[in-house]
Structure 1
Amino acid sequence: MPDQVPPKAPPKLEPGVVAAGVYAKGKRVSDIEIDDAGKWRKKPGHVVWIGLFEPSGDLLARVSEQLNLHPLAIEDAEKAHQHPKIEEYGDALFIVARTAQMVEGKIAFGETHLFVGRGYIVSVRHGASATYSTVRAHCESCPKMLSHGEDYILYKILDFIVDNYMPVLETVRHEIEGLEDKVLHESISTEQVRRLYALRRDLLKLRNAVVPLVDICRRLEHVELLPIDPEMRPHFRDVTDHVQRIRESVDSLREVLAFAFEASLMMGQAQQSTITRKLAAWAAILAVPTAIAGIYGMNFDHMPELKWRYGYFAVIGVIVALCGFLFYRFRKNKWL
């Protein structure tokens, strides 16, 4: 029998490379090395898909050399901390999107930079971000759609980024509802007030990450100058609608937080007012015996009632009657 040739082992991934593969007609052809990306990209009908996570400058330079990426885009991808945007460099696109995840009860933000051109797509992740292996697996399970190449992959990545906003919003929503109930039914602590402020600040950051995606998706959907397959443009409308719903949810949660924050301040002021009224009421009641005792403590020589047999009991009775009347009036007016 002829000797069987063992299957070729997939190339070992170097640090910073999450996945690197080439696709043709909607099917995965092979895993590739970064230094072979340019060769595969030049083959008609082939798409190189590379996923990177916090790559080094040297790795980005090698990818740029293979796929002829624009130096300014590479510089942005290396530095990170970019605002969401979409830029054209000849027949290629450079897209920056912000990602969000819940990390230890707080919203952590990251970035994804996307290089898209004919025959390739490169995703560069920084910071808090879910891996796109799920996107890759879903695309590979739909060869017909994946046959649209880099345009379909771009759509799925953007859709995945937007979908990952929802778990963050749901977590924040549950926490806000709990804090809102406490504000309305009981006094909240200083730490909870700080948490309200922190949540409102995080939601503002999330809104700043979401809103630019609306413009990005609309440009991908409508602008004819961008190198996007016309058949794929309607798919970006779905992402646009999804982003719009996310933005509306963020705005509604920020309004609820603003109400809860204002309500906490008003509840605190109301509690202080209640305490002030109670103190004022008791001070008025205690002023009666204080005043009478002060009069009898003047030690005048001519005070006829001092020698009256029932003077002590009469004074005590007057004090009790006046204090009782004041207590009744304050209680009736809900000061006590």
Structure 2
Amino acid sequence: MSVSHIRLAAVAAPEQAPDPAAEQGQVHAAGVIASSVYAHGVRVADIPVEEAGEWARKDDHVVWIGLFEPEPALLKCVQHQFNLHPLAVEDATNAHQRPKLEQYGDALFVVARTAQLIEGRIAFGETHVFLGRGYIVSVRHGASTSYKSVRQHWETCPTSLAKGEDFILYAILDFIVDNYMPVLEAIHEEVEEIEDKVLAKPMARSDIERLYMLRRDLLRLRNAIMPLLDVCQRLTNGNVPQVRPTLAPMFRDVTDHLRTVQEKIDSLREVLAFAFEASLLVGQSQENSITKRLASWAAILAVPTAVAGIYGMNFKNMPELELHYGYYGVLAFIVASCAVLYWRFKRNGWL
């Protein structure tokens, strides 16, 4: 997120009564990616988390804190600074939440799922956002791209960043949704390769397993974005007090991007389903072709087998046994019969 890493004080209080921050437990820098305060869209300073609440209460100041897999003590410190609801903090600690939007008094709590392609599989993470007057805190868990680029980009546009903490929420959600597309594009390239191979030959077991994994990952991604679509729609409707109605078009744009992602996921899943069905049809066609070849050669070989079987019987009085040219005649009959059968099967496309 920010270009600097903030170190928090880790000095224990003396024997006298500890201050509230010390009661929450002193927190080390681990887990804090950035902690900055902005005034009119311009970054004023990088601050320790213990001072964030004081800065957030100043007029025209916004505190933006970014955390990555923080320890419970760090979240307790943040909770104390901004008076966050315990249930929201508990959700951010557990990090196994469905995308949602909750209001706790004058604070807003948003959960979104992130996705990255790691070693050919879609890995999912979570981002929890606390938003209130003068502050926004993002908490990342699992696989997700750092929001450092978001912070750096909008710091170059103070006019936009000056719109407040709800604009930062838009920037984070827009970044999350935009990062779905590289994942889908990589899967789309692999799906095209599968399509090219499926008509050439039946799919091997490893190909079928990969196809199944892709369809399952796409389904999981779809299940992750559908609740987020509801979240963005609520932010667009203007019935969330923490989000100004003037930002509705921006959240509507995020909603449109989500719908595009949803359509692309559905399209890829259909293509994978068609590829699997096409592979089955190709396999059945090749099996039928092999069966026809085997049946054709079996019919051709049946002629000499039948003739040889008849004249191989050990009877004393059999017709044609004494013919001078009988052997050559039988050979000619066998060759002619086999040639006719081969021609007929070849003509019918069996051979």
The TM-score, its normalising length taken from structure 1, stands at 0.94
Gaps of 5+ in 1: 1-8
Counterpart position of 2:89: 74
> Within 5 A, what are the aligned runs for 1:27-66?
27-66=42-81
1 CA distance for matches of 2:210 and 2:290? 26
Which of the numbers 115, 118, 130 marks the counterpart of 1:103? 118
CA contact (8 A) 2:113 2:127 kept: yes
Counterpart AA for 1:214: L
Indicate whether 1:298 and 2:293 are aligned: no
Counterpart AA for 1:139: W
Counterpart position of 1:148: 163
Indicate whether 1:250 and 2:265 are aligned: yes
CA contact (8 A) 1:60 1:74 kept: yes
Instruction: Kindly provide the CA deviation profile for residues 236-268 of structure 1, in whole angstroms up to 9, marking residues without a partner as x.
Output: 011111111111111111111111111111111
The alpha carbon displacement at 1:131 in A equals 0.3
Gaps of 5+ in 2: 9-28
Which of the numbers 286, 290, 295 marks the counterpart of 1:275? 290
Instruction: Kindly provide the CA deviation profile for residues 69-96 of structure 1, in whole angstroms up to 9, marking residues without a partner as x.
Output: 1111111111112111111111211111
Counterpart position of 1:12: 7
The 4+ residue runs of structure 1 with deviation greater than 6 A are: none
The alpha carbon displacement at 1:311 in A equals 1.0
Indicate whether 1:85 and 2:100 are aligned: yes
> Within 5 A, what are the aligned runs for 1:223-262?
223-262=238-277
Instruction: Kindly provide the CA deviation profile for residues 169-220 of structure 1, in whole angstroms up to 9, marking residues without a partner as x.
Output: 1111111011101112334322112111111111111111222222111100
CA contact (8 A) 2:5 2:32 kept: no
CA contact (8 A) 2:238 2:244 kept: no
Counterpart AA for 1:152: F
Which of the numbers 170, 174, 177 marks the counterpart of 2:185? 170
Indicate whether 1:318 and 2:313 are aligned: no
CA contact (8 A) 1:97 1:213 kept: yes
3-state SS, counterpart of residue 321 of structure 2 = helix
Indicate whether 1:94 and 2:94 are aligned: no
The alpha carbon displacement at 1:159 in A equals 0.4
Aligned-pair identity in percent equals: 62
Structure 1 residues 112 and 225: alpha-carbon distance in aligned structure 2, compared to 1, 3 A threshold: closer
Instruction: Kindly provide the CA deviation profile for residues 16-60 of structure 1, in whole angstroms up to 9, marking residues without a partner as x.
Output: 110001111111111111111111111122111110111111111
Query: RMSD over aligned Cα, in angstroms?
Result: 1.5
Indicate whether 1:207 and 2:218 are aligned: no
The alpha carbon displacement at 1:297 in A equals 1.5
2 CA distance for matches of 1:272 and 1:86? 54
3-state SS, counterpart of residue 304 of structure 1 = coil
2 CA distance for matches of 1:255 and 1:226? 40
Counterpart AA for 1:18: I
3-state SS, counterpart of residue 257 of structure 1 = helix
1 CA distance for matches of 2:99 and 2:350? 56
The alpha carbon displacement at 1:10 in A equals 7.9
2 CA distance for matches of 1:287 and 1:226? 87
Indicate whether 1:195 and 2:231 are aligned: no
Relative to structure 2, which stretch is displaced further, 41-50 or 155-164?
41-50
1 CA distance for matches of 2:240 and 2:344? 80
Structure 1 residues 128 and 225: alpha-carbon distance in aligned structure 2, compared to 1, 3 A threshold: closer
2 CA distance for matches of 1:198 and 1:316? 59
CA contact (8 A) 1:84 1:213 kept: yes
2 CA distance for matches of 1:50 and 1:278? 71
1 CA distance for matches of 2:98 and 2:287? 44
